[in-house]
Structure 1
Amino acid sequence: MARPLRVCDHALLRFIERVGGLDVEGLRRHLAESLDRAAGAAEQLGAREMTIAADGFHYVVTKGVVVTVLTPQMKPKRMKPKR
């Protein structure tokens, strides 16, 4: 018997974009623009890693890249300060 087929994140994203017609790049721009002000303020204080709390969610940012979004039930890990 063959193993069940899996769908990788990249394929799922392309399906949502190309088959579902969702404007993925528009969403990406919207998310970046909505977090830019908070990220800029944190970067001015020397932070390269941060968690931005907005609208009940936590957006984890590392080196200027939003790497994940956490629901209210999920707890962000405390980031250790770099020396």
Structure 2
Amino acid sequence: MSRLIGVTDHAVVRWIERAHGVDVPAIRQQIIGHVARGVDITERMDPRGNVTVVLDGVRYVVRNHTVVTILPALGR
């Protein structure tokens, strides 16, 4: 019986980038552009030290000036 093989998020991103030609650095810059404006406006932190910026139906969670996750907006 074969063993199950896992795949890390890092490997998935590299596969998307290298096997499908997706420009990950350009996407990173696009996210930074969206979030930077919102962080400047909303510098309010939740109890965990996160700043949440909601733009175009997406929640960007920022911790220590780094986007740590992206979620659908609440209620979607």
Q: TM-score range by the shorter chain?
A: 0.7 to 0.9
TM-score by length of 2: 0.81
Gaps of at least 5 residues in structure 1 are 75-83
Deviation readout 1:23-52 (Å, 9 max, x if unpaired): 000000011011111112334x6x462100
- Contact kept, 8 Å, 2:54 with 2:73, in 1: the verdict is no
Instruction: Tell me whether 1:64 sits opposite 2:69 in the alignment.
Output: no
- The aligned runs of 1:28-47 (5 Å cut-off) are 28-43=28-43, 47=45
Runs of 4+ in 1 over 6 A off after TM superposition: none
Gaps of at least 5 residues in structure 2 are none
TM-score by length of 1: 0.75
Aligned length: 73
1:51 matched to which residue of 2?
Answer: 52
Identical positions, percent: 36
The RMSD of aligned alpha carbons is: 2.1
What letter is aligned with 1:69?
I
1:13 matched to which residue of 2?
Answer: 13
